Structure 1
Amino acid sequence: MKYGNKKVLELLLRSGADPNLANKKSETPLHLIAKGIYMEDDIVKIFFMTIDDIQQRLLIDALDGRSQTPLFWAVTYWNKKAVELLLKRGASPNLGDADGFAPLHILCCSNWDLVENFLKMNAEIGQTVNINIQTTAGNTPLHLAVSLGNEKVVELLLRQGADPNLANNDGDTALHLICKRYGDNDLMKILFEVCDQLKKKVQVDVRDQLGNTPLHWALFHGQKKEVEFLLKRGANPNACNSELVTPLHRIALRGMDDNLAEVFFAILVDLQLTVDIDAQDVFNNTPLHLALEHKHKQMSETLLRRGADPCVADEDGSTALHIICKGDDVNGLAKMFIKVLQQVRPIVHVDTQDNEGNTPLH
């Protein structure tokens, strides 16, 4: 086959040469055909005609050293002719390699028209493609398409029955991954619009392995548009993860001067939702504690003006004033703190003692 000798090829096959024998890489002739190495029309035609004529059994789903089938390689190189040929001869579209990657996973990393062609080819021969097939890491084709920001593929998969609520081994659904992406995109809009049309419910408060909801991640990454989408879809602004961290804790930790907190609060007011501004995590830290500890001045002021209680103590008994006094106050936290409290909360206990008996003055 390698040298294109058609007569010798036919002679060898008719003389009993095994078309299923593999080389040192565990590749059979079919693997090489799939990769496009032996794709001269006459050679491939003679190969299959002779196989059929002598009624030789062909291992159409033979595995190479990486547990990858000929179809896997044909899809990887998008050798369309080989893909069609293999599928018509019974190749399984759902076999995964050692990592569980099936042909559809590979295609979802490329153009939507390739995915569409592959699904169409299978439909024409009455073969079912598992649209929700998962890798060993639990990722579906939809997970991969979302991670790569492939909007057209995401829409196509959803319309073909992809489940938006399936989680991978980290507990991430498509919605989690959308919220973890940087940059502007319409993935969330597409997901909700298509699922609405198909009357398919999207779980907005689903939790990953650490208990984080999509809203936690959208806020952590400063995705304002996604935050608004989620809240309008019923996301819980007070949802806690496994460390009792709420979305507001996430904003406080982020602390960038990008008005994310104000956007968050404005949406809540518009939707008539309330947020527990003094929610405490497993260390009894409130969002205000975290904002002050990380010297996020604007965030700290926003929380105070929104009613955060400066007298709440963390697990060490430290109040907001203790935390300010422990730092070097490089950006005028203490000055801002006193000024804001004089306007919104005239009475503050300045002599509160922590667990060691220390006051802010100490």
Structure 2
Amino acid sequence: MPNTGGLRSSRRELYAHVIDSILLYGAPIWRCATETQAYIHQAEAVHRRACLRVISGRPHVSYDATYVIAGVPPLALLADERARIYQRRPEDVKEEERRETLNRCQDRWDRASKGRWTHRLIPNITEWVERGHGQVDYHLTQLLSGHDYFKSHSQRYDNTLSALCPTCPITVEDAEHVFFRCPRFHEERERLQQVLQEEIESENKHRQAHARYRRQLDGGSVFRAISRHQTEARGARGVKTIRTMLNEIDWLLWKDSKQSHDPTSPMFDIGERCHITDFVTRTGYKDEPEFDEEGRPLLHRTTALHHVEEVFFGFGWAPLVYDLFKIYDKFDVNYTDESGLSHFHVACRVGCLDIVEKFLEAGQDPNCIVKSTDDSALHLVCRRHDRTIIELLLRRGASPNLPNQKGKTFLHTISEERYDENFAAFFFELTDELNRPVWVDARDNLGNTPLRCIPLTTRNRGTLEMLLRRGADPNSANNNGETFLHAISEGRYDENFASTFFELTDELNRPVLVDARDNLGRTPLHLALERKSEAAATFLLTKGAGPNFADDDERTPLHYICRSFRDDDVVRQFFMTNKERNQWPEVDVRDKLGRTPLQWAVANFHPYMVDELLDNGADLSYFVFPTKCHFDECIENLMENHWKKLEFASGLLAVVELIEDRGYELDRSDALTIMSLLSEYKSFDDLTDDEKSGFDGEEFARKAKEIRITTSQSERESEAESSELPSLYDLIQSVPKQAAKLLTYEDYFEFAQSPEFSDLSKASRDYCTSHLCEKLSRKFFLDWAIYPFYELIHKRLPILCCEMIIENLNNEDLYNICLRLQVQQIRTV
């Protein structure tokens, strides 16, 4: 409800009684909760707001004064009254209990530390509540509470204001002074004295307020007149600071637009108009510019339109901007904020065609820039794909070659955006018509040309074709030495887009440098393989990319494959494509660290990739087994996105078995490296008995029996019946020797990569991994621990006896035996 106007106080009291009924429902039961301050404060907050509406008061009226003026006891006392009535029952008890409640309220009112001005005017609550006449409205509440447009009160909220009365310069302007002392209102006081037939003083105002009904009404009207006069005087003082008010209107317009279009604001509704802005527009308010001493308008000013630009995020802002331009309708005055953003820029950014045209007709320079970014109007409107405004700006003299702070021209912006195929054609046809040459190879601060900025998708083929036909250099490199082909190779590869690029360059007789090097010596083929784009790499090879070019770290494409890929099909396809083109990759070339592709493949424990390298000429006679640091480097990269302990353990042992079968002799130091890796990356059976017991249940056993493991032997012999294949349950239940007969290392490796294994719960996978890693590596540890054990006991037992002894040890114990011998030998040396 509004404070001024609206319902009179008696009607407001009816609404308040409804709230009382709701709040006091069941009060005899919950009355004891009023003793807890937190509870009663929440309920009293609602009750007090209802009382404020009754008296048309403001929130800063004190709690006790609010209740006294409204003639309503506090909620806690009302709840206590209801409880007493409920306990006593007789019909006359309500009046008696209300009298008791008013007595308690009076006692509380007399002891209250706030609302003392109100207490001087209304010392007796019972008389005030039972007066039976008169209405309390906004103006009378200001008198009774002492809160109005009094300078002493306003100074609390703005300490820059003076608290002195403008008529009585040495006196503080408060409620008592204005109503009973100030000569400004002498005539009003005389009229009231005639009505009441008594001298007006603050001490007898309470008695005067209880005069006859007619007298009270007349007296109230006099005090209302004084309050209205004070309000109008405050307004008159505001006229003196009209520029401050206009600035506040700017601020209100900004806050209104921000809240109405901020998704985090409760007022957010993109389909709704901004209420304050709409209201100001409908009033016909127009912004008036300020002028300097020579009569020129001051253009350096921040308005609501600049604030709109700060949070602009979509097309829903256009109605708001149009409304604001109805207020800021001086198009020969282009306000600019501290960043250099002007009203003209905002109109271009939002796409207000008629507004842009009005600015240009008023003489606005279409090449004016935003100083903070150096963006021109063309840069701003480009993001909206608004051809009409772009054409208007170009025809009015806008330059298509102006760079912003990033060095990007309008053509860079066109290239970066996802325009339709005809937009570039529209732009070049228009600049040709206007005889405005466009720099197609202009470079931004990073050295990128517009061609280098094109998004690499089929949708942008039109822009690509238009730039190439207009003379763009396909081999132009940026500051990093990267060409457009580097961008195609390292981005999200689109085969149709890449094919179109080569078709156009062939048609235009502009050969593409497929082996161009960037500042790190990398060719497009290197980047394609580094990004694990098999399709891009194959495409580049078919276009003549050299398979043996090394980067600054002396890594060839084959190094990149063995470092980055986990798929043997890539290396197989690499050799096959080069063979078709009669190109022969160097398989034993070393990088700066002295590592060959075969060493990288072994360190990545990928048996099939190792097999492909050996099949294609990798020489084991000069092969050096990777160091533990080399393994750690590869494992660290895998742990970021692809890491399974079972795959690691089985792959590592499969690689060792493979190179041994091809003639490599593993020595004890190599074996210790392998054992230390298996130990460090927890490939031992380290689960406790309690953890293992959780997997002996029927549910896990049922799932394990359903999972069949395909073996390399069954694949060679032909299609085997599913029931003949070993199950995961069989494998777990078998002893290591029996498991070695069922599966090879490669079979374990395949199973670790299978969806059946991945579909197991994490707890089940951890159990299987721990159990199977111990089992599959058992033979390796036994073979390499037998002789260290034999030497540690000084050969006092035959080998056969040593085998029988160590068979009872687990893999970790066997590893410790090997370590012990190594330590002993080091000490001897």
Residues 256-267 of structure 1 mapped to structure 2, 5 A cutoff: 256-267=493-504
Identify the residue that residue 378 of structure 2 maps to in structure 1: 142
Determine which of 363, 373, 395 is the counterpart of 1:128: 363
Identify the residue that residue 589 of structure 2 maps to in structure 1: 352
Determine which of 317, 321, 327 is the counterpart of 1:76: 321
Identify the residue that residue 155 of structure 1 maps to in structure 2: 391
Q: Which runs of 4+ in 1 moved over 4 A?
A: 16-19, 21-24, 26-29, 35-41, 57-62, 64-69, 78-84, 219-222
CA displacement, residues 34-88 of structure 1 (integer Å, 9 cap, x when unaligned): x6655568x769x99xxxxxxxx8967573577969xxxx99335565555x34x
Give the conservation status (yes or no) of the 8 Å contact 2:530–2:560.
Answer: yes
Give the whole-Å Cα distance in 2 for the aligned partners of 1:359 and 1:252: 24
- Letter of the structure 2 residue corresponding to residue 213 of structure 1: T
Residues 162-173 of structure 1 mapped to structure 2, 5 A cutoff: 162-173=398-409
Residues 1-362 of structure 1 mapped to structure 2, 5 A cutoff: 17=240, 19-22=242-245, 25=248, 27=250, 38=280, 61=299, 63-64=301-302, 76-78=321-323, 82=327, 84=329, 86-87=330-331, 91-93=332-334, 95-111=335-351, 113-119=353-359, 123=361, 127-135=362-370, 136-182=372-418, 184=420, 186-220=422-456, 223-330=460-567, 332-362=569-599
- Letter of the structure 1 residue corresponding to residue 333 of structure 2: S
Shift in Å, 1:211:
0.9
TM-score (norm 1): 0.78
Shift in Å, 1:184:
2.7
Number of matched pairs: 328
- Letter of the structure 1 residue corresponding to residue 432 of structure 2: D
Shift in Å, 1:293:
1.4
Give the whole-Å Cα distance in 1 for the aligned partners of 2:532 and 2:560: 10
* Larger RCO (CA within 8 A; separation ≥ 6): 1
Give the conservation status (yes or no) of the 8 Å contact 1:19–1:28.
Answer: no
Give the conservation status (yes or no) of the 8 Å contact 1:142–1:157.
Answer: yes
Shift in Å, 1:238:
0.7
Deviates most, 201-210 or 181-190: 181-190
CA spacing shift, 1:347–1:131, aligned 2, 3 Å: same
Give the whole-Å Cα distance in 1 for the aligned partners of 2:556 and 2:520: 13
TM-score (norm 2): 0.36
Give the conservation status (yes or no) of the 8 Å contact 1:20–1:58.
Answer: no
Give the whole-Å Cα distance in 2 for the aligned partners of 1:314 and 1:356: 13
CA spacing shift, 1:287–1:40, aligned 2, 3 Å: closer
Give the conservation status (yes or no) of the 8 Å contact 1:285–1:314.
Answer: yes
- Letter of the structure 2 residue corresponding to residue 296 of structure 1: S
- Letter of the structure 1 residue corresponding to residue 336 of structure 2: G
CA spacing shift, 1:159–1:112, aligned 2, 3 Å: farther
Structure 1, unaligned runs of 5 or more: 1-7, 49-56
CA spacing shift, 1:271–1:17, aligned 2, 3 Å: same
- Letter of the structure 2 residue corresponding to residue 356 of structure 1: L
Give the whole-Å Cα distance in 2 for the aligned partners of 1:231 and 1:281: 22
Give the conservation status (yes or no) of the 8 Å contact 1:139–1:167.
Answer: yes
Give the whole-Å Cα distance in 2 for the aligned partners of 1:25 and 1:330: 67
- Letter of the structure 2 residue corresponding to residue 140 of structure 1: S
Query: CA RMSD for the aligned pairs?
Result: 3.6
Give the conservation status (yes or no) of the 8 Å contact 2:465–2:504.
Answer: yes
Shift in Å, 1:102:
1.2
Deviates most, 262-271 or 177-186: 177-186
Give the whole-Å Cα distance in 2 for the aligned partners of 1:192 and 1:180: 16
CA spacing shift, 1:262–1:329, aligned 2, 3 Å: farther
- Letter of the structure 1 residue corresponding to residue 301 of structure 2: L
Identical-pair percentage: 30
CA displacement, residues 216-240 of structure 1 (integer Å, 9 cap, x when unaligned): 1115466221111111111111111
Which structure features the higher share of helix residues?
2
Give the whole-Å Cα distance in 2 for the aligned partners of 1:68 and 1:260: 41
Give the whole-Å Cα distance in 2 for the aligned partners of 1:169 and 1:58: 31
Give the conservation status (yes or no) of the 8 Å contact 1:237–1:247.
Answer: yes
Structure 2, unaligned runs of 5 or more: 1-231, 255-276, 289-294, 308-318, 600-829
Higher-Rg member (1/2):
2
Give the whole-Å Cα distance in 2 for the aligned partners of 1:64 and 1:157: 25
